[in-house]
Amino acid sequence: MLRVTHVNEEEASTPRPALADGAEPPQGPPAPDDDARTKQPLRTHLRKPFGTTWLRCLTILLTVWIALGVSLAGGNELSADHDLSTAHGLVAGFSLGLTLVLALWRPTEAWALNLSAAVVIALIARPHLIETPPPGPNWPWSTPAVLAHATVLLLLALRVRTRNAVSALAATALVTFLLQGVIGGQRYSGTGTTAVAVFAVAVLVGTALRGRKEARTQLVEQETLTASERAQRTLLEERSRIARELHDVVAHHMSVISIQAQVAPHLVENPSEELKENLEGIRQNALDALTELRRVLGVLRSEHPDAPDVFDATGTDADATAAPHAPQPTLDRLEALVDNIRGAGLEVTLDVTGRRRPLTPGVELSAYRIVQEALSNVLRHAPGATARVSVAYEPRAVSLRVVNSPPQRPAPPSHGAGHGLLGMRERASMLGGSLSAYPAREGGYVVSAYLPAYPRIEGLAYDPIPHAPNPPHPDKDGTA
């Protein structure tokens, strides 16, 4: 039921915070090459795009734990199987372990140092192969050395291109063949084939993980680009719709000017020829402007004809095929709009305060459309809620406020583009006003707009009124 009441002017005219204008997503820097990428710590790459804190910490702790195990186990094995002193064995073992830690930051250098350390250890241990009984110790790769080199290759494959990781694997396989197949020894258990197989698996796993990470990165970039393009397209469509509506308003006034200029000579007794010529010039200029406006309107309407203000249960226009040249709505039609919304199942109350008066056509049209879109959003996204529309006429502005209660049931999936707020904000900004939308403290949602009653036009843009408020941003709980 329509209620026109007089409420506290301060409360009715209190502006609400305006959301910042949408900006295009920042374009990221070009992807670094492999040399630049491998010089960055592994934690940087794990963070892009799917790494988390616990995953980075787990990776570092696991690598350090493997490095410590390789250092101790490698030293013990070299001392026991190759007759090296305990000190020499520990030095050799820790040389393998330190390359694992280095691989977190410099995987390419760590791979080269690890392979070099493995070769030196194998050559130092080779003279002792003669004195050991059959079948002999593991050579040229000990078990700790295999584990260390496989881990380094895994970290390398996560950071460089596939061909570089495969090249490192091929170099390791070649060195293994030279040690076991060419240099060899008298009595040992060959581990070259098994070691190369383990290394190949490590490279395969690292390459697969890196490919998955790159695929997800590309997906996120594509989604960001798509969202940006969708928002830009929606903004252009909304501006086109606003232009069509404003052209209708201007065309109407030009028609009135033409008719008045044609009738004016008949209202004056014995008009002078100069007056007739001036009035005929006004009439002809109005007709020429009207012709151009109609031509522009024909282009603007060719793809997106306007729809009437009738809503279905989803809050969308019920008939999109109505005549596109229907008169544009004003605030005088808010009662009819509220009745239509009630017919769709939403309980709405309308409060109007201040001295109700006609405003400029652009302000009337934009104010009506903002209320229309806000109520449409309530229908779509807050089933079972109630809404209150407040319109406050001020001396130099009009304030709009649409508040809905929390929804009583989950909202059905929405098939809209999700850019209704973008269109409302564009309408307010065009007039030099402001619009804010935020969750209410008690639940529900608030849409508040502040429009100057008589915006001044300079060039092609509206200038904001000098006293337009700059409202504060709301707190996290939705309060101002």
**Could you read off the pLDDT of 418-447 as tens digits, one per residue?**
567 888 888 888 888 999 999 998 889 999
**At 187, is the pLDDT very low, low, confident or very high (cuts 50, 70, 90)?**
low
pLDDT of residue 309: 41
Mean pLDDT of 147-161: 91
Give the phi and the psi of residue 352 in degrees, each rounded to 5: -120, 125
**At 4, is the pLDDT very low, low, confident or very high (cuts 50, 70, 90)?**
very low
Mean pLDDT of 23-35: 42
- Whether 257 has a pLDDT exceeding 70, the answer reads yes
Share of the chain above pLDDT 90, in %: 22
Distance CA 308, CA 329 (A): 9
- Whether 459 has a pLDDT exceeding 70, the answer reads no
Which residue intervals of 272-352 are DSSP H helices? 273-300, 334-343
Going by the DSSP 8-state scheme, the letter that residue 82 receives in this structure is S
Can you tell me which residue has the tokens 């070299």?
78
pLDDT of residue 2: 41
pLDDT of residue 47: 44
Lowest mean pLDDT among 14-28, 83-97, 413-427: 14-28
pLDDT tens for each residue of 353-388: 999 998 888 899 889 989 988 998 898 888 889 999
Given this structure, which CATH class describes domain 1-26+309-480?
alpha beta
Mean pLDDT of 383-395: 93
pLDDT of residue 362: 84
pLDDT of residue 383: 87
Mean pLDDT of 167-179: 92
Mean pLDDT of 255-275: 80
CB 425 within 8 A of CB 21: yes
For 252, residues 6+ apart whose C-beta sits below 8 A from its C-beta are 327
Nearest to 134 by CA among 186, 195, 193: 186
Mean pLDDT of 1-21: 40
Mean pLDDT of 145-171: 91
Distance CA 150, CA 157 (A): 10
Mean predicted lDDT score pLDDT of the chain: 74
Give the phi and the psi of residue 13 in degrees, each rounded to 5: -100, 5
**At 30, is the pLDDT very low, low, confident or very high (cuts 50, 70, 90)?**
very low
Lowest mean pLDDT among 151-165, 227-241, 382-396: 227-241
- Whether 29 has a pLDDT exceeding 80, the answer reads no
CB 391 within 8 A of CB 351: yes
- Whether 25 has a pLDDT exceeding 60, the answer reads no
Distance CA 271, CA 343 (A): 56
Lowest mean pLDDT among 70-79, 222-231, 330-339: 70-79
- With left for phi above 0 and alpha for psi between -120 and 50, is residue 24 left, alpha or beta? beta
For 382, residues 6+ apart whose C-beta sits below 8 A from its C-beta are 404, 405, 406, 407, 411, 444, 445
- Whether 335 has a pLDDT exceeding 80, the answer reads yes
Nearest to 129 by CA among 72, 74, 73, 183: 183
Residue ranges of the domains in the chain? Answer: 1-26+309-480, 39-226
pLDDT of residue 97: 83
Strand partners, 351: 390
Q: Is 81 helix (H, G, I), strand (E, B) or coil?
A: helix
Taken in order 208, 209, 213, 214, the sign of the CA dihedral is negative
Nearest to 420 by CA among 234, 229, 245: 234
Taken in order 4, 5, 6, 11, the sign of the CA dihedral is negative
Mean pLDDT of 300-310: 47
Mean pLDDT of 248-252: 67
pLDDT tens for each residue of 45-70: 444 444 457 777 887 888 888 878 77
Q: Is 333 helix (H, G, I), strand (E, B) or coil?
A: helix
**At 72, is the pLDDT very low, low, confident or very high (cuts 50, 70, 90)?**
confident
Distance CA 221, CA 158 (A): 20
Higher pLDDT, 125 or 377: 377
Length of the chain: 480
